[in-house]
Structure 1
Amino acid sequence: MNSNKTYKIILSGGGTGGHIYPAVAIANELKSRFPNADFLFVGAKDRMEMDKVPQAGYKIIGLWISGIQRELTLRNLSFPFKLISSLWKSRKIIKDFKPDVVIGTGGFASGPLLIMATSKGIPSLIQEQNSYPGITNKLLGKKADKICVAYDDLERFFPKDKIIKTGNPVRADLLHIAEKRDDAYKMFSLEKETKTILVLGGSLGARRINQLIEKEFDFLLTHNVQIIWQCGKLYYEQYKIYDNTKNIQVHEFINDMACAYAAADIIISRAGAISVSELCIVGKPVIFIPSPNVAEDHQAKNAQAIVDAQAAIIIKESDLEVDFQNKFTQLIISPEKQQKLGDNIKKLALTNATKQIVDEVELLLNKSNK
């Protein structure tokens, strides 16, 4: 293909980092191949993509859209109006920008944009991160040209002939974290001889994981560990009082995740799709605490796929009181178990996902420009 051609590419998705970061990774790979390409992101107003995408160097337009609440709530009454508004605005965006291809990475923000794009016959690709797709991608899969997935057995939800198993796009710097370990110790002011526990609850935070860490401070420190705790934007004001208490440091958000992963010996994490994909590449022992507050319990399904390969530990939120101390102790006192989990999870890594997804985008661009 002509790398100097000015392709016009729209990427849409958001709501959480799990939908935003894959879109940015795909855009970065496309930009490296087509330096003259023109990119536009479409997200949801008032969500984190409106900050994160411009920080990555891309223009974004926000739609007035939100998801349907699972419980009965007055907020659902506004959904039809938001959908109509977003469909109308998406139609205008497509008319004005005239994209050669449209890419959706999930979340309710991508729905209206891809509905309008496919209705106009614009080539489209969706990237499904989870082992159990969200409602937006399940609906879009009927019209999209290609569906890039990270797990097997998604023929239950998507047309088989459209599915390409690529894995999930992850930050390129994670491929070389072993080289960053010394820098990571300096960055986080860590003791090299002390085991480091990295606690992650997602970009916004995880209330139950934060409560667990607060409750188990004394227990954790009896094992002579140091803790890097990303408590999240929603909880930082509550938990920052513990920063630099004993061997604990509290962060609202960690920008250099490669260094955080490099420093870690054991990781406690939610099981969002992108986190799981990153942790496979990182190759460290992991305790997954899936969020139960997600559609179709997909985090538990994501984590269980790793546990079934004897590559991680899972503890349900409802079992934390009885299981956490026991399972953590079994792991921290056993270098053999740590090594086994680290080795096994690394075998599950799909390291070329971004490249393979962009290869598929290229095929769509080639087809649309014949």
Structure 2
Amino acid sequence: MTKRILFTGGGSAGHVSVNVALIPRFKEEGWTISYIGSHNGIEKDMIKKQFPNVPYHGISSGKLRRYFSMKNFTDPLRVLTGVMQAFRVIKKENPDVIFSKGGFVSVPVMFAAKMAKVPVAIHESDVTPGLANKLAVPFATKIYTTFKETLQHMPADRSTCAGAIIRKDLFLGKRVKGEELTGLQPSKPILLIMGGSLGANAVNKIVRDSLDELLENFSVIHLCGKGNLSPDAPEGYVQYEFVTDELPHILAMTDLVVSRAGSNSIFEFLALKKPMLLIPLPRESSRGDQILNAKSFVQQGFALTLDEKDLTQESFVTTIRQLRDQHWTMVEKMEKAPPSYTIDQMVDEISGLAK
């Protein structure tokens, strides 16, 4: 008899990427797969593009705000509507297990799963659980965390530190292919800068202000986010709005990384043994989760960190030089890091929860 799994999670790429990594393996195992997300969130585009044959069900969801907004009074109604919509989807798809990566849209699904008596596994990426996963924990059959520190916030009898779930294609990159794509040669160390989308301006600006000094010692690959390309591209500096299939090859040629401190990204760099300078989103722009993520990696010797409020041309260039000098020490510590669950291990774990 064919087993069925329903995935949920959305609102940001980080709440979808683990699902994207797991879905192909479940397909290989012959599972019937479906997905619940929001009507217009990033998860809809990602799932429909990569898995056009996976049924996608959009539901209503509110936003869990930590600040005053009139929408705080109407969003509970949206969540309630989402619960009923999710319940109908669950009854229709009849999953044996549900896997949730979090995000606002997952909250109605968790309530509905409890009503339908379907076992649920959730995965929390950050050191401290997000509000959506805090609400989901009472309804979860099993909770997996990325950081071991997160276990202190979770019920001990249902929680396991699985680490990050890294998609297999990241390990298949070829340095030579990266050099062909970028036109850069290994005469200097390669510095990859992930400006990203959220809060990219501060990182992008400091990179471009510092280019003259950076290019003395590095070749620079800059992922600057949509609409953020600069008309000036001196020799040794290659910029992209974003990359997809090219990323494994670019990472293969990379020596050092500058990035925000989103959990999925930094664990990918750890898995690939790439020392990193982390510039976490400030508390004014987030709940502070990236600050804690960065602190954990610094304490373990995998990274250096620089607060955005302290970001100047001098501090940026100086810290990158320090990162270069500590490169091999960091790599040695990364090699001793506890391994994360493989995709196969995670699939086995989730399969074991199926009703």
2:341 corresponds to which of 334, 339, 352:
352
Name the SS of the counterpart of 2:138 in structure 1. coil
Q: Give the equivalent residue in structure 2 for 1:228.
A: 221
Q: Give the equivalent residue in structure 1 for 2:114.
A: 118
Q: Give the equivalent residue in structure 2 for 1:283.
A: 273
What letter corresponds to residue 220 of structure 1 in structure 2?
L
Give unpaired runs (5+ residues) of structure 2. Answer: none
Q: Give the equivalent residue in structure 2 for 1:342.
A: 331
Determine whether 1:215 maps to 2:209. Answer: yes
Q: Give the equivalent residue in structure 2 for 1:23.
A: 19
**1:186 and 1:67, CA in 2 relative to 1: closer, same or farther beyond 3 A?**
same
Determine whether 1:327 maps to 2:319. Answer: yes
Give unpaired runs (5+ residues) of structure 1. Answer: none
Q: Give the equivalent residue in structure 2 for 1:140.
A: 136
- 8 Å CA contact retained: 1:53, 1:59: no
Tell me the matched-pair count. 350
| Percent identity of equivalent pairs | 27
Q: Give the equivalent residue in structure 2 for 1:258.
A: 248
- 8 Å CA contact retained: 2:64, 2:132: no
What letter corresponds to residue 275 of structure 2 in structure 1?
P
What letter corresponds to residue 230 of structure 1 in structure 2?
L
Counterpart CA distance in 2 for 1:155 and 1:311 is: 21
Between stretches 307-316 and 322-331, larger displacement belongs to 322-331
Determine whether 1:131 maps to 2:127. Answer: yes
**1:251 and 1:99, CA in 2 relative to 1: closer, same or farther beyond 3 A?**
same
Counterpart CA distance in 1 for 2:345 and 2:201 is: 36
Counterpart CA distance in 2 for 1:69 and 1:219 is: 41
Counterpart CA distance in 2 for 1:231 and 1:247 is: 16
Determine whether 1:309 maps to 2:303. Answer: no
Runs of 4+ in 1 over 6 A off after TM superposition: none
Counterpart CA distance in 1 for 2:209 and 2:20 is: 36
Q: Give the equivalent residue in structure 1 for 2:263.
A: 273
What letter corresponds to residue 298 of structure 2 in structure 1?
V
TM-score by length of 1: 0.88
Between stretches 260-269 and 337-346, larger displacement belongs to 337-346
- 8 Å CA contact retained: 1:273, 1:302: yes
What letter corresponds to residue 309 of structure 1 in structure 2?
Q
Displacement after TM superposition at 1:295 (Å): 4.9
Displacement after TM superposition at 1:251 (Å): 1.4
TM-score by length of 2: 0.92
Counterpart CA distance in 2 for 1:202 and 1:115 is: 33
- 8 Å CA contact retained: 1:277, 1:349: no
Q: Deviations over 1:244-301 (max 9, x none)?
A: 4432222121103211211211100111111121011110221011112465411111
Displacement after TM superposition at 1:45 (Å): 2.4
Counterpart CA distance in 2 for 1:82 and 1:211 is: 39
**1:128 and 1:194, CA in 2 relative to 1: closer, same or farther beyond 3 A?**
same
Counterpart CA distance in 2 for 1:285 and 1:273 is: 15
Determine whether 1:161 maps to 2:157. Answer: yes
Name the SS of the counterpart of 2:77 in structure 1. helix
Counterpart CA distance in 1 for 2:131 and 2:65 is: 12
Counterpart CA distance in 2 for 1:305 and 1:362 is: 31
Q: Give the equivalent residue in structure 1 for 2:10.
A: 14
Name the SS of the counterpart of 2:64 in structure 1. coil
Between stretches 247-256 and 18-27, larger displacement belongs to 247-256
Counterpart CA distance in 2 for 1:353 and 1:139 is: 27
Counterpart CA distance in 2 for 1:284 and 1:291 is: 20
Name the SS of the counterpart of 1:103 in structure 2. strand
- 8 Å CA contact retained: 1:283, 1:346: yes
**1:54 and 1:130, CA in 2 relative to 1: closer, same or farther beyond 3 A?**
same
Counterpart CA distance in 1 for 2:66 and 2:231 is: 34
- 8 Å CA contact retained: 1:66, 1:79: yes
- 8 Å CA contact retained: 2:199, 2:281: no
Name the SS of the counterpart of 1:241 in structure 2. coil
Name the SS of the counterpart of 1:142 in structure 2. helix
- 8 Å CA contact retained: 2:304, 2:323: no
